């Protein structure tokens, strides 16, 4: 990926907007993609029972921001 704010990061953030973790998957980061998807799914699924919906919203927003701000350590 290119630097922060690049077109790739914007695309990744848009992907994460629809499905948490999809943006990280587009960037090639498998473990964060799985973790964001699993935790956001759990929070969204249980938000009406146990967790406040705020946890689900925060996790989803975190996935979007993480995808948008990602910079590879291999980029100069």
| Cα–Cα nearest to 37, from 52, 50, 25 | 25
**The pTM is what?**
0.81
Q: Give the pLDDT score at 75.
A: 60
Please write the tens of the pLDDT for every residue from 18-75: 999 999 999 999 999 999 999 999 999 888 877 678 899 999 999 999 999 998 776 6
- Domain containing 31: what range? 7-69
The answer as to whether 51 is a domain residue is yes
Q: What is the pLDDT of residue 3?
A: 55
pLDDT surpasses 60 at 1: no
Residue 31 lies in a domain: yes
Residue 22 forms part of a structural domain: yes
Residue 76 lies inside a defined structural domain of this protein: no
**What Rg value do the Cα atoms of the chain yield, rounded?**
13
Number of structural domains (the chain) is: 1
Task: Let me know if residue 75 belongs to a domain.
Answer: no
Q: Report the 10 Å Cβ neighbour count for 26.
A: 19
């Amino acid at each position: 990926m290119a630097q922060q704010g690049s077109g790739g990061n914007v695309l990744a953030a848009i992907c994460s907007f629809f499905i948490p973790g999809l943006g990280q998957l587009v960037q090639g980061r498998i473990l964060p993609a799985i973790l964001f998807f699993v935790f956001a799914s759990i929070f969204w699924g249980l938000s009406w029972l146990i967790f406040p919906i705020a946890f689900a919203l925060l996790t989803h927003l975190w996935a979007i921001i993480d995808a948008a701000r990602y910079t590879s350590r291999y980029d100069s």
